[in-house]
Amino acid sequence: MVRTFSLVAMVLMFCAGALADTDPFIGKWKLDMRRSKYPAGSCPKTMVIVMEAAEQGVWYHSDAVYNNGGEIHAQYTAGYDGKEAMVMSARGFLLPVSLKREGPRVVVASYSRGMQVVAISRRVVSKDGKFMTITTTSSDASGKKTTTVGVYVRQ
């Protein structure tokens, strides 16, 4: 019985490790403010993203702290199939997200409001797996397009 349990545990650990090895987004990422480009005053003071393997996709969790003391914590589980997933924060629901893989190191996240895409984030992991760049295009309250580039370092 103990031997069977140990064998099952080893197989599960191997499979989880193999799955993490196939998805370069899996891991802990920290925002590098010096390499990132945000509109004035909008860059978080700190931001950490953690992604873990989930069935056919990823479990995502982020923590951001801003210079004004504000904090945003978000999490979701989504597949790479383009289906919408609910994004939760400490204050309730945020905009739903849908993920689509464009290549082995590229994922596009689309955020919608009322059946209309309001922001698109293109996530790219570097060939060496050390950096993740997230380029987000959205519109501000006046309808003006805004682009941010967040560069994250694998921890």
pLDDT digits (tens, 9 = 90+) for 41-66: 899 999 999 999 998 899 999 999 99
* pLDDT(10) > 60: no
74: which 2 tokens?
């978000």
Q: How much is the mean pLDDT over the chain?
A: 88
Calculate mean pLDDT across residues 91-110: 96
pLDDT of residue 55: 86
* pLDDT(19) > 50: no
pLDDT of residue 141: 74
pLDDT digits (tens, 9 = 90+) for 120-141: 999 999 999 999 999 999 987 7
pLDDT of residue 109: 98
112: which 2 tokens?
């919608």
* pLDDT(11) > 80: no
CA dist 113 to 121, 123, 133, Å?
Answer: 15, 21, 24
Whole-number Å distance between alpha carbons of 90 and 73: 6
